Amino acid sequence: MNTLIEGDTIAAISTPMGSGGIGIIRVSGPEAFATAKKLFRASLHTNEVESSLIFDALPSHSLRHGYVVSHKTGETLDECLFGKMAAPRTYTCEDVVEINCHGGTAVMKSILQELFSLGVRPAKPGEFTKRAFLNGRIDLAEAEGVMDTINAETEQSHKAAAVQLDGRFSKELKDMRTKLTEAIGEIEVALAYPEYEMDVPAFEHTKESLTEIIEKLEALSKSYGRGRLLRDGLKVVIAGKPNAGKSSLLNRLTGYERAIVTDIPGTTRDIIEEFTEIDGYPVIFTDTAGLRESEDKIEMIGVDKAKKKIADADLVFFVADPFEKEPQQPETKDCIVVINKTDKASPEKISDCKKFFDGWEILEISAANGNGVDALIDKIKEKFDSGKSGNDMLLTNARHKDLIDKSREALQRGIDACEAGMPLDCITYDMWESAGFLGEIVGESVTEEVIDSIFERFCLGK
């Protein structure tokens, strides 16, 4: 058995906390059946011994209606469905019982407490999935796909996560590793039998296979831009001077009165963030405090926060008011100037405003009546489309991107060194290193700390 696995029995509520139609308590480990059956009653008239026999006779992977009864007080806690699943074909590869009870916080907690008092330990965040990984059912990239799938809030985010979860991404990596180890084998044979003078042709041939792998790694690395957007959402920041209509635009884009709008400059002081979905794509809109110098301490904190958000944005809409007496140009060209209030401003005013922002990409809108806002939506969609390729294999995870880059760099280093006249031995060193980085993505050759840090980010009960 893997030494990282703590072989005890664990339990947690696997559905979200709060009230719901049903709630599921998952129990996993060698004592899962023995513990669960102590709480199980087949009916209100069946005693503990008979219920226990019924539980034993229940086939694996089936559900049985029953009641949860406190082993301490004999009190009936809830009417439930018991799911019994015997190892190894379970989520964790261990014996698993899933108690489907009513989804009230109090009832779920009381059942959980009963399990704990019978010696079951509270599961740590991600511990069920960690066991699935340590028991070899899924690899690390697939486990990370589980987390992304849980967190995916839009259709496109889900699609990107699914590639990891269903193992296609892992297979691609494994294929590359196999090619690498085959190439290493060829060189090592050439080195072991110098009398056959295989070294020079082997290098040319190796270089060809390595270049092919490098190209694949490059393509994956490039896909991270779009992958990250699909996973985390496109960060769109709405900035500009006070009273320009930033909050009105946020409300227009999100479709409801999210932010307070008044004609008093300096209405918004803090950051207002709103997650939304545009054509299945995840977008985070951020409304910010109007950019100006002020005596007001609170407002200046808001302005500072706004500047940080602008620096960290994927897309900035700089809202400009054609009625503004002291307009201000954005500090960067990397934004779209959005001239607002076109419902009220005369063509001359709009034209003057456009001249002031000469050199920037400019769009005209009215947050008040919605005119021109579709063009902003198109700009958002363009951001998602820009990195699109025929391949749906997208890198969504920063850890994976880092390792893919390291793997590619190692191969390039090897090729460069050989071309500069170094002996072939050095290329195999780089190739082993490159294969090692790919292995870290799927969880072969990773340290315990890396594994822990990944699973700690999971939610409780998963």
Ligand X SMILES: Nc1nc2c(ncn2[C@@H]2O[C@H](COP(=O)(O)OP(=O)(O)OP(=O)(O)O)[C@@H](O)[C@H]2O)c(=O)[nH]1
- Of the two residues 281 and 318, which places its CB atom closer to ligand X in the complex? 318
3-class DSSP state of 65: strand
As measured in angstroms, the least distance from the Cβ of 365 to ligand X is: 7
Q: Which does 343 bind (CB under 5 to 8 A by kind): ligand X, Mg ion, none?
A: ligand X
Tell me which of 14, 28, 268, 286 binds ligand X, using CB under 6 A: 268
Q: Which residue has the tokens 């779209």?
A: 336
Largest CA distance in the chain: 89
Contacts (Cβ under 8 Å, ≥6 apart) of 96: 26, 27, 28, 32, 83, 85, 87, 90
As measured in angstroms, the least distance from the Cβ of 243 to Mg ion is: 8
Count of residues touching Mg ion (by CB under 5 A): 4
Q: What one-letter code names the amino acid at 10?
A: I
Length of the chain in terms of residues written: 462
Give the residue from 321, 302, 201 showing the smallest Cα distance to 263.
321
Q: Which two tokens stand for residue 272?
A: 């207002």
Binding status of residue 246 toward ligand X by CB under 6 A: yes
Binding status of residue 290 toward ligand X by CB under 6 A: yes
Binding status of residue 267 toward Mg ion by CB under 5 A: yes
Q: Which two tokens stand for residue 36?
A: 């669960």
Q: Which residue has the tokens 């393509």?
A: 219
Binding status of residue 268 toward Mg ion by CB under 5 A: yes
Q: Which two tokens stand for residue 88?
A: 């190894």
Q: Which does 242 bind (CB under 5 to 8 A by kind): ligand X, Mg ion, none?
A: ligand X
* Stretch 300-359 residues interacting with ligand X (CB under 6 A): 340-341, 343-344
Interaction mask 357-396, ligand X, x per CB under 6 A: ---------xxx----------------------------
Q: DSSP readout, 406-462?
A: HHHHHHHHHHHHHHTT--THHHHHHHHHHHHHHHHHHTTT--HHHHHHHHTTSPTT-
Binding status of residue 286 toward ligand X by CB under 6 A: no
Binding status of residue 247 toward ligand X by CB under 6 A: yes
Count of residues touching ligand X (by CB under 6 A): 22
Tell me which of 247, 396, 397, 434 binds Mg ion, using CB under 5 A: 247
Interface ranges with Mg ion (CB under 5 A): 246-247, 267-268
Interface ranges with ligand X (CB under 6 A): 242-248, 261-263, 265-268, 290, 340-341, 343-344, 366-368
